[in-house]
Structure formats: C-alpha cells, structure tokens
Structure 1
Amino acid sequence: MPVPLEGYALIKLEVRKNAYYDSVTLMIISKDVKKLPGVTEALVGMGTDLNREIAANIGLAGEGFDAVTANDFFVAASCESEDAFSAVVAKVDELLNKKADKRKTDYFPPTLEGALKLESGLNMAVISVPGKYAYEVARSCLEHEINVMLFSDNVTMEEEKDLKEFAASRELLVMGPDCGTAIVNNTPLAFANVVKSGDIGMVCASGTGAQEVSCIIDQLGCGISQLLGTGGRDLKQEIGGIMMRLGLDALIHDPKTKVITLVSKPPAPEIAAKILDQAAAGGKPTVVCFIGGEASEIERRGLYAAVSLEDAAHKAAALARDETPEDFTGFAMGQLKAEELAAAEAAKMAPGQKYVRGLYTGGTLCDEAMKLMIASLGHIYSNIPLKPEDRLADARGGESREHTFLDFGDDAFTVGRPHPMIDPSLRAERVVTEAADPAAAVVLVDCVIGYGSHEDPAQDLSEAIRSAKALAAQEGRYLAVVASVCGTEADPQSLSGSRMKLANAGAIVLPSNAQATRFTQRILAHL
C-alpha cells in the first residue's frame, strides 16, 4: 500500500459499482474537493487504466483499489480524518446531483437515430468521445449527411484521412480531429468567442490562433461570416489539406464572405502550394498567416502574408473596409511609450535577472510567441520546442531552463486533467514557482476567455500574479508580468473586465499576444 502523504494518516476509498459519469465533469469535481479542509489530495473518476495509473502515481491507490474496474466510479482521497473523507464524499454527491438536475431540464437522445427522429433536419454534430470510438461515431454522422466537428483527439492519421476523403466526396465538413474552435452561421462551437457577424471568412488549423484573429477582428469593428476549423494535422503531407481546401472553396463561393483569412502553422511545401494556388484563383482578397513561415510564396501569388496573428486580423479588417493593408508590428500605446515603460520595468530588477518564462494555456499563442522571439534569444526551452535540442526532458515536474516557454495544453500537462483553458490552476501554480527563481525577469502569460473556458480565468491568474510578485519582492527582486487577453467584450467573462483584473494584480496588459511578446523583448533588451 502507498505510504500516506506526510501529515495525513488516512488514504480512503469509496467505490460505486457500474456507475458512469463523464470524465470532464469528474476532473472538475476532483479539483473542487481538493480544496476542502483536511484534504491534501483527491481523485474522482472511473476505474480506467489511466485513472488507476494516476491514482498510483499520487499515492491514492490504497487498500481495495486493485478491485476497481473500468465500470466502477470511485472517490479516493488522502485526508486527516474519517470526517474529512465524509465531507469529500458529500461534496462529490452534491456536485453530481447539481449536474443531474441540470440535465433533467433537457432531453438527450441516447443515439444518433433518436436525435434524427427528434429533429430530422440536423446537419452538424459536435463529437467528444474517447478517441478509440470517435471514428465510428463520425463516420455514422457523415453517412447521415451530417457535417462533423470532431473535438476528440487520439484518432489515427489513417482514420482521419478516411473520414475526410469520405466527407469531401459528399461535400461535407470534418473539422478535426482535435478541433477546438469554430463559428458556423454565427454559432460558436467548443472554445470560441462572441464575435460580430461580418464579411471575413476564416479557415484555421489552429484553435487559439483562430480565436486570437477573430477576436481582434471584432475589436477592430469588423466581423466573421464563417470560422471553420480543420484540426491541427490537416495540412500535413499524410492528410493533404483536404479540409482546408474544402473550407476555402466554401468561402470562395459564399456570397456573405468578402475577405478570406487562412491560419495555420507552415504546411508541407506541396500542400501549401496547392492551397495558395486555390486562394489566388478564388478571386477574393486573402490573408495568409502561416505562423512563422516565409512570406515570399504567399506574396508572389498576390495574396497578403501576415507577420503575426494580430497582423492577420488588421490586414483582413483593412481589406474588408476597402483599405490598403499594411504590416502591423508596433504598439497600440505607441513605440515611445512602450520603450519607456519597458525600460522602467527593467530598471526595477536585481542583478542576475535575465530570463523570460512563457506560461501559456493556448498552444498556438505559445508557438507564435516563441517564433517571434527565437531570433533574439537563440534558444527557447519548451515542451513544444522550435528546435529538437531545446526540448525539456520533464516539462511538468522539472525546473525551467534559461528562457523557457510551456504549453499547458500539451499532453505532458493534460493527462488526467481538463484542458488549462477549463482548469487553469496548474498554470497558476507555475507562475508562483517561476517567481522563486532569482534568474527569472519576466513571466509572459495569456488569458483566453469565451465559451468553453473557465468561468473567470483572469481572477485565477490574478491571484497567482499577486503571489508571485510578493514572493519575488520578499527576496529583494522585482518580477515583471506581461499578459494579453484573447476575447471580446461580449464574451461571458468580458474583455475589459478580464484586462482590469490582471492590471490590478500588477501585470502589464497588452492588446495582443504579439504586442505582449514584443514588449517582453524590449524589457529583456534593457537588462
């Protein structure tokens, strides 16, 4: 039996046979019950192989755990008393009952056939099931002439290609797998924001990249006709950009779309050539943001190359207003004011402070920031490195190394946990951890709001920023925190409200991820 965690004598387990609850609900409940008095660690879940492994790793696989099966629901906790564990179980039941009461207000057909009987005109399905089941579910939807947004991951490359080839033969969409963002006919799907309706159409192989561009378009007073996701692997050689090309064709023929914007990491060269040729032949002004990619092939075809996600939004908005687009690489506050503010931040720091720590909940935003900074920094260590030699061996459990950027949505951080845009607590903990490093000068962070995200990620991050700054101050140092918020004023969490919370906690809040990155570079240049 694992040794109880220090200071706590009890590792308790309750098992309920043949009871099922969805994994995201249980992960969120696990987070909530850990906050109860007298509880150090807790795990609430189904007895899957993964959850059994997690329980063993955190010391909760106590007596009786060997008998827990994949069909069983369990509550395990390390606590100081029987009463504390009783409180854990009571809290779990309370949260599960709230979930059940909410579901009673709606009818949820248990099968696709049942849903079609209830509403025969359905033409879009959002699928979020374990990866090993996702292919069959998606294929069934396509056979019923239903477009698919496939949120599930762990779908094989072969399955993805088969689904997309079959869908394309029927002129249906397969957005995904691992597609997190779309806006179809003004309806946000999964992680998306409340943006104005307009005449800019987007096809994106990037979730937070799509959010960043669409939100800045909204802030510039323009709007979105359609935002179609493709999943991150669509532009790989093995898939061939099937959905990017189908989505692009749809926007070319969409009368509501005046300007097209494409967002992706740089595709395979032959795939990029096909997409760019198609866009050039489409006759509509098109902005292309192949994040970190070369501009020459884009511009040679008469298309508009973006130097950042923010720049893509500015160029799309300019084209929608029949203006000539120009590169946006400065600061909304003005270059002089930004330079003065960066110098003032650097002047507060102690000798030896020289590194930036980028802590991101949005993977594309993390990738963009690294690509904007790599030329000046040389090496950036990461769990999603730009160079193979810069990969961190243990991103989650180990220490940062020199300039370090972490994507908390990567598999290294999400095993057994919700995505950090749903539960940002692990990132918040790391903000405080980085403050203890005397070499850390700047912590660079994002805050993604909107549908699907945590109900108030700015509050969670603000508390961490206050703690981090206080820790550094106690040790005679000044820690700069630079942040940006991806969202709109109409989002449930409010763009201005989120920015205000971060600013009140002591962060320098910039209007975009690109500006936050450039501002961080200016601080480092003054050290």
Structure 2
Amino acid sequence: MSWHVRVIPNRYADSVRLMAISRAVRRRDGVSRCELGMGTPANLELLGRLGARADASPADLVIAVDADEGTAAEALRYAEQELSSRDGAVSAARARVRSLAAGMRELDGANVALISVPGEYAPLEAHRALSAGLHVFLFSDHVPLEAELELKRRGAELGLLVMGPECGTAMLGGIGLGFANVVRPGPIGIVAAAGTGAQESACLLDAAGVGVSHIIGVGGRDLHPQVGGLMFGHGMRMLAQDEHTETLLLVSKAPSPEGVAAVADHLPHGIRTVAAFVGWDGAEAPFEVHPTLEEGAIAAAGTGSPDISHLEREVDARRAITSGRALLGLYSGGSLAHEATTLLEPDLGPIAGNVGHGPPRADGGHSLFDLGEAEYTEGRPHPMVDLDLRIGMLERAADDSRTGCVLLDVVLGLAAHPDPAGGLADAVRRAAERAVVVAHVCGTPDDPQDSERQIQTLTAAGAIVAPSNAAAARLALRTLR
C-alpha cells in the first residue's frame, strides 16, 4: 500500500463531516487509512509523519488515502463524491454560507454561533460572533489559554456565553449542541467543565424522571487559575435568573483549591447548588460537593441509587469463566474514564494507561485508557464517532488470557456513532468468551441511537450493562476481587 493525495483548493468542511467521510472511506476494501482535513501546518505535519506529502494552504481541503494502487483512485473519487453529496443535502432554499455575516442574514434571529475551525483561526471567529451579539459554542481545540481568557472576559462583559474552547456538549432551551443527548425538560440546570460528565449527569437525571432546563458547557480549562471560572460564574448567574431552573448542578473533574474558590466567588444566592467534582477528596467547600457524577445527579434529583443487586449476582456467576485477573478499561469519554479510575484505584492500586497513576503501559496488569485523548485522536476521528480503535483493542483482549474484566463506555448523542453497540457487538462477544465484559450506555431512549436498543444489543453480545458509569466501575471491581 502507498499514500495517494488529492488537494481541493479553497474548500472547507467541518471536522464532524470530515470524520464521517474518513470513516466511510476506510471501510472500503483495499484502504488501510484515510485522512481528511484542512491544509493547516499541523495537519500537513501529521501527514508527513505518516509518509504522505501535500502542497496545500490552510484554505485547501486535503484527502489522503493509504491504499492499494488499484483502489486508491476510486477511494479518492468516493471521498469527493461524499463531500459533494453532503453539501447537496443542505436545503436548496438556503444558499451555502461562507461567513458569519452571511449566516446571520440567512438565519434571522439566531443568537448562538457554533464554531469549529482550526484553533489558530478560532479566536478571531469567536470575537466576530461576540461583536455580532451572539453566544459562542466553540468546538475548536488548540486555542491558546491567553486567547481563551480574552474571549471569556469579553463575553462576560457583554453578557454573552463563551462555551469552550473544546466544548463538546451544550443544551440551550432544549436544543442540543455537539454530542448532547435528548433529555426531558425539567428544573435542573447544568454548568459543566466536562463534556461526557455533562452527558452522564443529564442522562442520569433523565433516567430518574427529573429533567434538565439547560446545559452550559464551558470547556475543560475554565477552572484553571488563570481563567478563574469566568464562564462557570457567568453560566451560574444566567441559570439562577432562569425561570425554568430551580437547582444548579456543577460538573467538573476535581478542581484545584483555586478553582473551588473561583466557583465559590461566583456562587449565586437564592438557588440550591450541588456539585459533582469527580475525584473530590472531601475537603470543605461552601456548597454541596459529591465525588462522582452518579452521586451528584442523585443529590440534585433527590432520588435513590438504582438497585444493581441482580447485576452483582450475574458478575458473581460469570467470574468462573475467567482465570485472568487484569482489568482493561476502554473509554471514549474522558470524564467517564476519570470517574472509573477514581473508584478503582483505591482497591486495585495505580492503574496503567493515560488516566490513572500507573505507568503508560502495563504488561499483564490493570490498565485503563481514555481513547479520546489527543494521542489517540491525532489524525483519526474521535472514538465516540469511530469504533475501529476500540474494536481492535477488544479483539486483542479476547486473545489475552491475563484479562479478567473489560470495562467500557458506550456514549450516545446527537453527533455520536449511529449504532455503537451494534458496531462493537462482535468484538464484545469474542471478549466475553474469556473475560467478564462490563459496560455502561450513556444515553436516553429518545437519543437517535435509543439507549434501550443499545443495552439490548450489548446484553445479547454477553456484556453486563450497568445503569451508571460509577456502577459499572463497582461491578468491574467486584469481578476482580
């Protein structure tokens, strides 16, 4: 196989669309890898490391396939056709817009701009949106911290939200942005510095029969001392004034003392506030704090924990099938991976991988990986969209007699894979022949993927499916005791 490259001058496509097309091309016979992206220096450098070369500018779109000589040309044509067909899917009644100003003319009354451009251009576009009086949902990554601080200061001064950078989930007035789930309306407003943390919290509330008014994502760095929780505070104040919001649920990985102080400084009066700070060490705080997403959602909803005794009995029965004693965690959601690790390490000790306190790799020991981190997503789609990486790792686990338990999340949502359980089922079935497979579906029955159908598919493949990520971690721990 060899690399074949095509450059389309002055053509832009957003990253979500490019990921979907890349996945479709890679599934064709004779194609080993496909990369689609704008011709930014970072993308061209990545292609160079892979062995491909492209002469392109940041305004050009690059298609690169590593394929057999006989199939490369057809794969490139297919990618171009997919780009054109997806462009054509836009309503003919509405001209394709190429600027913020044109978009505002086409969609009169819009008050939110969703920005997904390379990080070096994102601040300029976000400032333009703020100047136009729009709230900003900033999906882009690689935005300098100084630029984030400047944007958020300006947004706060203008009374506008700057959600992000690297904001993957929000829901405003029932309208989901990014990877958001379809949840019932209700009295709890969420402010989150953790994307899948917000998703898990909202889905647990939905399962408890308690809905969500809004989800304001702020990006993972908002509680950084230099940013000072600017959007956390602005989001809390906005929700405190919202007539449909009665309780605030704050979601984040455990912040630093400076981050906690920033939240406390911005805390609005007259509204109940609950925090789910994953990995919280129990230190005092001037508001109610819980160390897991599950506990935070239960406290906010005022409900009890779901009964998992039947799942515990199933785990006990299945332990007999495996002689392995090692855990393998394969996560697509960073917040979920972090929550699982904080629950597992007190009993299992340091866990290897890119989340826990163990080494990067473990030969036969416990390991857990957040496959959504940059080291795994550079040059390939996010695992919430593309299942190939996890399928390969599950297949290797099925061949390793040392693996006693496989723990994984399946995250649903508006921009997620259309049928993740179906895509993973064969690999789960193989792994379940040798190890106990414990999974959690983060989603709702109203999601496009239908959480109930996803649970049925995983169960039929041999997985034990827990009602929360925290419960899944506890079941995995029970397997290995």
Q: Which residue of 2 aligns with 1:322?
A: none
Larger Rg: 1
Q: 1:13 aligns to what SS in structure 2?
A: strand
Q: 1:155 aligns to what SS in structure 2?
A: coil
Aligned equivalents of 1:312, 1:179: Cα separation in 2? 21
Q: How does 1:146-157 map to 2 (within 5 A)?
A: 146-157=134-145
Q: Which residue of 1 aligns with 2:277?
A: 290
| Among 319, 324, 341, the residue aligned to 1:346 | 319
Q: Verify the 8 A CA contact 2:341 2:355 in the aligned structure 1.
A: no
| Among 122, 128, 137, the residue aligned to 2:110 | 122
Q: Verify the 8 A CA contact 2:4 2:66 in the aligned structure 1.
A: no
The answer to whether 1:407 aligns with 2:382 is: no
The answer to whether 1:223 aligns with 2:211 is: yes
**Could you tell me how far 1:144 is from its partner in structure 2?**
1.9
| Among 480, 484, 490, the residue aligned to 2:436 | 480
Aligned equivalents of 2:291, 2:258: Cα separation in 1? 21
Q: Verify the 8 A CA contact 2:364 2:403 in the aligned structure 1.
A: no
Q: 1:282 aligns to what SS in structure 2?
A: coil
Q: Verify the 8 A CA contact 2:39 2:56 in the aligned structure 1.
A: yes
The answer to whether 1:94 aligns with 2:65 is: no
Q: Which residue of 2 aligns with 1:254?
A: 242
Aligned equivalents of 2:343, 2:313: Cα separation in 1? 21
The answer to whether 1:333 aligns with 2:308 is: yes
Q: Provide Cα deviations, 1:224-257, integer angstroms capped at 9, x if missing partner.
A: 1111111100011111011111111112222211
| Among 254, 265, 288, the residue aligned to 1:304 | 288
**Distance change (3 Å), C-alpha of 1:521 and 1:160:** same
The answer to whether 1:273 aligns with 2:246 is: no
Q: Verify the 8 A CA contact 1:381 1:404 in the aligned structure 2.
A: yes
Aligned equivalents of 2:38, 2:54: Cα separation in 1? 13
Q: Which residue of 2 aligns with 1:8?
A: none
Q: Which residue of 1 aligns with 2:340?
A: 369
**Distance change (3 Å), C-alpha of 1:265 and 1:41:** closer
Letter paired with 1:316: A
**Could you tell me how far 1:119 is from its partner in structure 2?**
4.1
Q: Which residue of 1 aligns with 2:420?
A: 457
Letter paired with 1:198: G
Letter paired with 1:317: A
Q: TM-score, normalised by structure 1?
A: 0.85
Letter paired with 1:249: R
Q: Verify the 8 A CA contact 1:151 1:176 in the aligned structure 2.
A: yes
**Distance change (3 Å), C-alpha of 1:33 and 1:66:** closer
**Could you tell me how far 1:88 is from its partner in structure 2?**
1.8
The answer to whether 1:195 aligns with 2:183 is: yes
Q: 2:171 aligns to what SS in structure 1?
A: strand
Aligned equivalents of 2:56, 2:292: Cα separation in 1? 50
Q: 1:240 aligns to what SS in structure 2?
A: coil
**Could you tell me how far 1:338 is from its partner in structure 2?**
3.9
Letter paired with 1:392: P
Letter paired with 2:300: A
The answer to whether 1:20 aligns with 2:11 is: yes
Q: How does 1:169-184 map to 2 (within 5 A)?
A: 169-184=157-172
Q: Which residue of 2 aligns with 1:434?
A: 397
Aligned equivalents of 2:283, 2:439: Cα separation in 1? 31
Percent identity of paired positions between Structure 1 and Structure 2 = 37
The answer to whether 1:29 aligns with 2:16 is: no
Q: Verify the 8 A CA contact 2:126 2:136 in the aligned structure 1.
A: yes
The answer to whether 1:514 aligns with 2:477 is: no
Q: How does 1:129-168 map to 2 (within 5 A)?
A: 129-168=117-156
RMSD: 2.3
Q: Provide Cα deviations, 1:289-325, integer angstroms capped at 9, x if missing partner.
A: 1111133423xx4x4332421221121111xxxxxx6
Q: Verify the 8 A CA contact 2:5 2:65 in the aligned structure 1.
A: no
Moved more, 504-513 or 268-277: 268-277
**Distance change (3 Å), C-alpha of 1:66 and 1:141:** closer
Q: Verify the 8 A CA contact 1:15 1:68 in the aligned structure 2.
A: no
Q: 1:247 aligns to what SS in structure 2?
A: helix
| Among 175, 179, 196, the residue aligned to 1:208 | 196
Aligned equivalents of 1:166, 1:68: Cα separation in 2? 34
**Could you tell me how far 1:467 is from its partner in structure 2?**
3.4
**Distance change (3 Å), C-alpha of 1:139 and 1:21:** closer
Q: Which residue of 1 aligns with 2:479?
A: 523
Q: Verify the 8 A CA contact 1:381 1:392 in the aligned structure 2.
A: yes
Aligned equivalents of 1:237, 1:48: Cα separation in 2? 31
Aligned equivalents of 2:29, 2:119: Cα separation in 1? 37
| Among 430, 443, 449, the residue aligned to 1:493 | 449
Aligned equivalents of 1:70, 1:139: Cα separation in 2? 20
Q: Provide Cα deviations, 1:347-380, integer angstroms capped at 9, x if missing partner.
A: 2212xx1111110010000000000111001111
Q: Provide Cα deviations, 1:54-75, integer angstroms capped at 9, x if missing partner.
A: 444445x3xxx46566565555
Aligned equivalents of 1:137, 1:489: Cα separation in 2? 36
Q: Verify the 8 A CA contact 1:332 1:511 in the aligned structure 2.
A: no
Aligned equivalents of 1:495, 1:486: Cα separation in 2? 8
**Could you tell me how far 1:79 is from its partner in structure 2?**
4.2
Q: Which runs of 5+ in 1 are unaligned?
A: 6-10, 319-324, 394-398
Aligned equivalents of 2:78, 2:150: Cα separation in 1? 45
Q: Verify the 8 A CA contact 1:260 1:286 in the aligned structure 2.
A: yes
Q: Provide Cα deviations, 1:249-294, integer angstroms capped at 9, x if missing partner.
A: 1122222111111111122213313423654x61222211111113
Q: TM-score, normalised by structure 2?
A: 0.93
Letter paired with 1:361: S
Aligned equivalents of 2:154, 2:56: Cα separation in 1? 40
Q: Work out the number of aligned pairs and report it.
A: 479
Q: Which residue of 1 aligns with 2:360?
A: 392
Q: Which residue of 1 aligns with 2:460?
A: 504
**Could you tell me how far 1:457 is from its partner in structure 2?**
1.1
**Could you tell me how far 1:80 is from its partner in structure 2?**
4.3
**Distance change (3 Å), C-alpha of 1:98 and 1:401:** farther
Aligned equivalents of 1:141, 1:72: Cα separation in 2? 24
Letter paired with 1:506: G
Aligned equivalents of 2:82, 2:140: Cα separation in 1? 25
Q: Which residue of 1 aligns with 2:99?
A: 111
**Distance change (3 Å), C-alpha of 1:462 and 1:237:** same
**Could you tell me how far 1:454 is from its partner in structure 2?**
0.9
**Distance change (3 Å), C-alpha of 1:68 and 1:166:** closer
Q: 2:189 aligns to what SS in structure 1?
A: strand
**Distance change (3 Å), C-alpha of 1:79 and 1:250:** closer
Q: Verify the 8 A CA contact 1:17 1:71 in the aligned structure 2.
A: no
Q: 2:89 aligns to what SS in structure 1?
A: helix
**Could you tell me how far 1:122 is from its partner in structure 2?**
2.5
Q: Which residue of 2 aligns with 1:396?
A: none
Letter paired with 1:305: V
